[in-house]
Amino acid sequence: MDNARDNSEAEFVDPTPHVSMYRKILGESYDRLPPLVRDMHEVQSRHTARGRGRVRRGSGLASRLMASLLGMPPEARDIPVETTFSLEQGAETITRNYDGALLVTKQALVPGCETDAGPPALLLEKFGPVALFIRLEGTEEGITFHLQRCSLLGLSLPYFLSPRVSARERVKDGQYHYFVRIDLPMIGRLIEYEGLLRLEKA
């Protein structure tokens, strides 16, 4: 991928917003997901999940400074977490409230090729000036997120400058469980956060 300016801003429009964005991306594998994971992504307009979580930042000065510049929540153990999913024009705004510290990202569909030989649909997740293009893998265990490329201020980053992302959604102790870790080249861990959530009943 070269350093040409990407078109991520144009991807936040979906002509069929009534269908789960994750179903569109995962296709048939969406139906294999555990119900607790699948339900978390059945956003019609807005829903909220609450639970407990933890946040770990990197130990180095550079990683902590970068986390603060990007608006990452502070390090904390076993704190209340509230996650709100809001759907507008097919794009989801996800607001994660870690005991008063907010982490807001926006997710949208990047259409793929309809043929098996072509590129699959991707999930675009943006926070601040950073855009992550992610391939989703759905199984009976849950969802695994694979970073395909990254851009900063609309410019695609080469692989050696791109973050390393480990992220998954599973079921643990009868609840929806999420885990995300982001590492930066030459810096190490930027942030790691995980938690258990339960959807609020409508």
State pLDDT tens for residues 136-190: 999 999 999 999 999 999 899 999 999 999 999 999 999 999 999 999 998 999 9
**CA gap 41, 133 in Å, rounded:** 18
Going from N- to C-terminal start, the domains of the chain cover: 8-199
Residues 144 and 165: beta-carbon distance below 8 Å: no
Q: Among candidates 104, 54, 64, 53, which has minimal Cα distance to 189?
A: 64
φ, ψ for residue 69, nearest 5 deg:
-65, -30
Tokens 């609840």 identify what position? Answer: 175
Q: What are the b/e assignments for 96-119, b being 16+ CB within 10 Å? A: bbbeeeebeebbbbbeeeeeeeee
Please give the CATH topology (third level) of the domain spanning 8-199.
Lipocalin (2.40.128)
Q: Give the phi and the psi of residue 48 in degrees, each rounded to 5.
A: -130, 140
Q: Which residues of the chain fall short of a pLDDT of 70?
A: 1-18, 112-119, 201-202
Length of the chain: 202
- Kindly report the backbone phi and psi dihedral angles of residue 96, in degrees, each rounded to the nearest multiple of 5, phi listed first: -105, 120
pLDDT of res. 44: 79
